[in-house]
Amino acid sequence: MKYAIVQQGGKQYRAVEGNTIEVDRLEAEAGQAVRLEEVLLVTDGEQVSVGAPTVQGAAVEVTVLAQVKGPKLTVFRYKPKKRERKKTGHRQQYTRLKVERIVTGA
């Protein structure tokens, strides 16, 4: 099975051809092709290429499917015996990507 480990936004993701991944929000429209250059590892089942820190010439070509929001997180802070309460929420924005092709460095 051919896959690659890519780094995007300070996080690492396992990209398999044909699958989808959700990364932190990218400034790209739906349907746009994007090339991820920071590839840390590439394997095709038998041969493994590990970068130091990245694999030279390797890239992952992806297509933007949609801009999506993550689950709602509730943040509740309070100070006991002081009647101080604060309730807020947060939803992280993600970009859903479809992995089209993994380009090896060799």
Tokens 């349907």 belong to: 31
Cβ proximity of 16 and 42 under 8 Å: no
Which contacts qualify for 7-13: CB closer than 8 Å, 24 or more apart? 7/38, 7/39, 7/40, 7/54, 8/36, 8/38, 12/40
- Output the tens digit of pLDDT for each of the chain's 106 residues: 899 999 999 999 999 999 999 999 999 999 999 999 999 999 988 888 898 899 999 999 999 999 999 999 999 999 999 999 999 999 999 999 999 999 986 6
Q: Output the pTM of the full model.
A: 0.84
